[in-house]
Amino acid sequence: MIFSFDLLINAVISGILIGGFYAAVTAGVSISFGILDIVNIAHPAFVILGSYIAYIVNAKLGLDPILTAIVMMPAFYVLGAGIYQIYYESFEKRGQESLRGLAFFFGVLFITEVSLVLYFGVDYRYVEAPYIGPTWHFGFVDIPFRIMVPCIVSLLLIAALQLVLTRTFIGRAIMAVAQDQLALRLMAVDPIRIKRIAFGISIATASLAGAFLIIIQPVEPSVGRQYIGRVFAICVLGGLSSLPGTVIAAMLIGVVESLTSTFYGPSWAPAVSFGFLLLTLAVRPAGLLGR
């Protein structure tokens, strides 16, 4: 293959933009797995659920997918809080979260996926919005709006989350709940309530990530599975509980994946994130910005 500078620059830029979107998908996992220590492997399934909701509303009412997702966030929050309550009552309270909790989330992932298949079939679905067609051209650099818009909104979302986590009382309590529950109780805060809120927030981000996903690519129910490895690779690489670390790791993986698919072919791209995951686990389990 002839090495092309244009191709390289374009691959890097689209990798960074895609990385911004990956950060939105991973933000929820960084909160649930990184901070709360709840191994929510069903997170990508909720992202796909968000995609389908954006699709239905877009197809029926013609509403903008991102707007739909923001409107739907409270509903996802309630869903997340409900799931945490079940998880807490059935597993955490009995101290069985390691084996059965994992199996529970795996079952939830499976049920969501099969239900979507039964209801919508395995056809690819897509949405329509004004910013999906056009592309900016700067000389040889192309920036497609359909990737840039999700990237920008995603960075705004993560900035907002970071502000909430570091500046508000609830946010600080969320950061504290992972470290010392007893100390939190002494501050007259109920750790279970804080965890419920945090898990609700983590699922609420899936609504927005789902809208981004269906803007960027057509979606069918099993697409979510490809994101499981990727999302956890990013989360581990980013240092588990650090949102800035998540953004950096997401962009890094986005760029490497984009380079791989440009120069070796798209069929190799899924192996990249796993390679990163194994490498991180073997060399530096604390991640890039880990404590």
Partner 1 sequence: MRTPAFLLVCFVIAGIVFAAAVAAGNDYVFFAGYVVLQYIVLSTAWNILGGYCGYVNFGTAAFFAVGAYSTVAVYKLMADSDFYPMPLPVLMLVGGVVSGVIGFGMGYLTLRLRGAFFAIATLALAVVLQTLVVNWDFVGGSRGAYILRPEVVPYIGSYIEYLFLVMLLLAVAALTIARLIERSRLGYGFATIRDDELAAEASGVPTLRIKLIATTISGALMGMAGAPFPYYIGYLQPESTFGLDYAVNSIAMPLIGGTTSWVGPLIGAILLGSLQQIATVTISSAVNLLIVGCLLVGFVIVAPNGIIGLVHTYWQRKPEDFVGRRRVETDAPGSVP
The residue range among 1-9, 115-123, 208-216, 246-254 that interacts with partner 1, by the rule CB under 8 A, is 115-123
Nearer to partner 1, 61 or 182 (CB): 182
At residue 125, what are phi and psi to the nearest 5 degrees? -110, 150
188 counts as binding partner 1 under rule CB under 8 A:
no
167 counts as binding partner 1 under rule CB under 8 A:
no
**Residue choice 106, 124, 136, 140 for contact with partner 1 (CB under 8 A):** 106
Nearer to partner 1, 32 or 154 (CB): 32
104 counts as binding partner 1 under rule CB under 8 A:
yes
The residue range among 47-55, 64-72, 110-118, 126-134 that interacts with partner 1, by the rule CB under 8 A, is 110-118
List, in order, residues 6 or more apart from 239 with CB less than 8 Å away: 34, 245, 249, 286, 287, 288, 289, 290, 291
Which positions from 58 through 87 interact with partner 1, judged by CB under 8 A?
Answer: 86
The amino acid at 91:
F
**Residue choice 4, 6, 78, 98 for contact with partner 1 (CB under 8 A):** 98
- Burial track 146-158 (b if 16+ CB lie within 10 A, e otherwise): bbbbbbebbeebb
**Residue choice 64, 97, 220, 257 for contact with partner 1 (CB under 8 A):** 97
124 counts as binding partner 1 under rule CB under 8 A:
no
110 counts as binding partner 1 under rule CB under 8 A:
yes
182 counts as binding partner 1 under rule CB under 8 A:
yes
Nearer to partner 1, 130 or 267 (CB): 267
9 counts as binding partner 1 under rule CB under 8 A:
no
The residue range among 16-24, 57-65, 136-144, 229-237 that interacts with partner 1, by the rule CB under 8 A, is 229-237
Q: Which residue has the tokens 């709360």?
A: 36
Task: Decide: residue 249, CB within 10 A, 0-12 exposed, 13-18 middle, 19+ buried.
Answer: buried
At residue 284, what are phi and psi to the nearest 5 degrees? -140, 80
Residue by residue, DSSP assigns 167-202 as HSHHHHHHHHHTT-HHHHHHTT--HHHHHHHHHHHH
List, in order, residues 6 or more apart from 51 with CB less than 8 Å away: 125, 210, 211, 213, 214, 219
User: Which of 84, 69, 258 has the alpha carbon at shortest distance from 177?
Assistant: 84
**Residue choice 82, 228, 263, 288 for contact with partner 1 (CB under 8 A):** 228
Site track 259-288 with partner 1 (rule: CB under 8 A), x = hit: --------xx-xx-xxx-xx--xx--x---
Size of the site for partner 1 (CB under 8 A): 53
Q: How far is CA 180 from CA 36, 81, 174, 193, in A?
A: 11, 21, 11, 15
Nearer to partner 1, 90 or 162 (CB): 90
Nearest-angstrom CA–CA distance, 267 and 254: 15
Beta strands in 107-167 (DSSP E): 135-138, 141-144
> Binding residues for partner 1, per CB under 8 A?
33, 39, 41, 86, 90-100, 102-104, 106-108, 110-111, 113-115, 117-118, 181-182, 185, 191-192, 222, 225-226, 228-229, 232-233, 236, 267-268, 270-271, 273-275, 277-278, 281-282, 285
